């Protein structure tokens, strides 16, 4: 029973790719490194941060972050260095400057435009049906009534 609980616990816990040889001896620096690792995207895996990725480049980035922390860099200096080297794509939460604003705003704007276009289309369709019924002559209305009775 103990082994079953242990296996379930291991399977349910999050898997981090940080290797034991990468962990810093200073717990404060290691906590900062883990925080930075959550903010940086693996450039190979694209959907994972560098702490969760098993890719070689993610390991290199984890080592780079820890090396720069030991050298005394601030968190922002490390992020700036990595962004300068790999581009802003490496950030899990890109900034609200430049062309990124277009990416943040495009989704809601396109949704709003689609809703407006749908409303205009449905509104035009309902008025078009009313107009089509008004164009029948008396003979056509009589013929239609005759057809519907059969």
Q: Higher model confidence: residue 28 or residue 99?
A: 28
pLDDT above 80: residue 15:
no
Distance between CA 20 and CA 12 in Å, rounded? 20
> What average pLDDT score do residues 21-28 get?
78
Q: Higher model confidence: residue 75 or residue 8?
A: 75
Confidence of residue 133 (pLDDT cuts 50, 70, 90): low
pLDDT digits (tens, 9 = 90+) for 101-128: 888 899 999 999 999 999 999 888 877 6
Q: Higher model confidence: residue 133 or residue 41?
A: 41
Q: Higher model confidence: residue 64 or residue 22?
A: 64
132-140 contacts, C-beta under 8 A, 24 or more apart: none
Provide the strand spans (E) within 21-69: none
DSSP symbols for 99-140: THHHHHHHHHHHHHHHHHHHHHHHHHHHHHHHHHHHT--HHH
Distance between CA 75 and CA 81 in Å, rounded? 10
pLDDT above 50: residue 9:
yes
Annotated domain spans of the chain:
2-90, 100-149
pTM over 0.75: no
Confidence of residue 4 (pLDDT cuts 50, 70, 90): low
Confidence of residue 96 (pLDDT cuts 50, 70, 90): confident
| Topology at the third CATH level for domain 2-90 | Helicase, Ruva Protein; domain 3 (1.10.8)
Q: What is the pLDDT of residue 30?
A: 86
Say which residues have a Cβ less than 8 Å from residue 35's Cβ, sequence separation at least 6.
75
pLDDT digits (tens, 9 = 90+) for 42-92: 888 878 888 888 888 888 899 999 999 889 889 999 999 999 998 888 888
């Amino acid at each position: 029973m103990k082994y079953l609980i242990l296996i379930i616990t291991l399977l349910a816990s999050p898997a981090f790719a940080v290797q034991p040889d990468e962990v810093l001896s200073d717990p404060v620096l290691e906590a900062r490194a883990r925080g930075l690792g959550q903010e940086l995207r693996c450039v190979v895996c694209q959907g994972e941060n560098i702490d969760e990725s098993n890719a070689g480049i993610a390991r290199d980035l984890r080592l780079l972050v820890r090396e720069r922390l030991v050298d005394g860099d601030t968190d922002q200096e490390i992020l700036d260095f990595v962004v300068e080297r790999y581009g802003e794509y490496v950030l899990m939460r890109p900034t609200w400057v430049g062309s990124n604003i277009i990416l943040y705003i495009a989704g809601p704007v396109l949704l709003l435009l689609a809703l407006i276009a749908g409303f205009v289309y449905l509104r035009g369709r309902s008025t078009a049906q009313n107009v089509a019924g008004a164009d029948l002559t008396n003979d056509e209305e009589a013929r239609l009534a005759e057809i519907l009775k059969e």
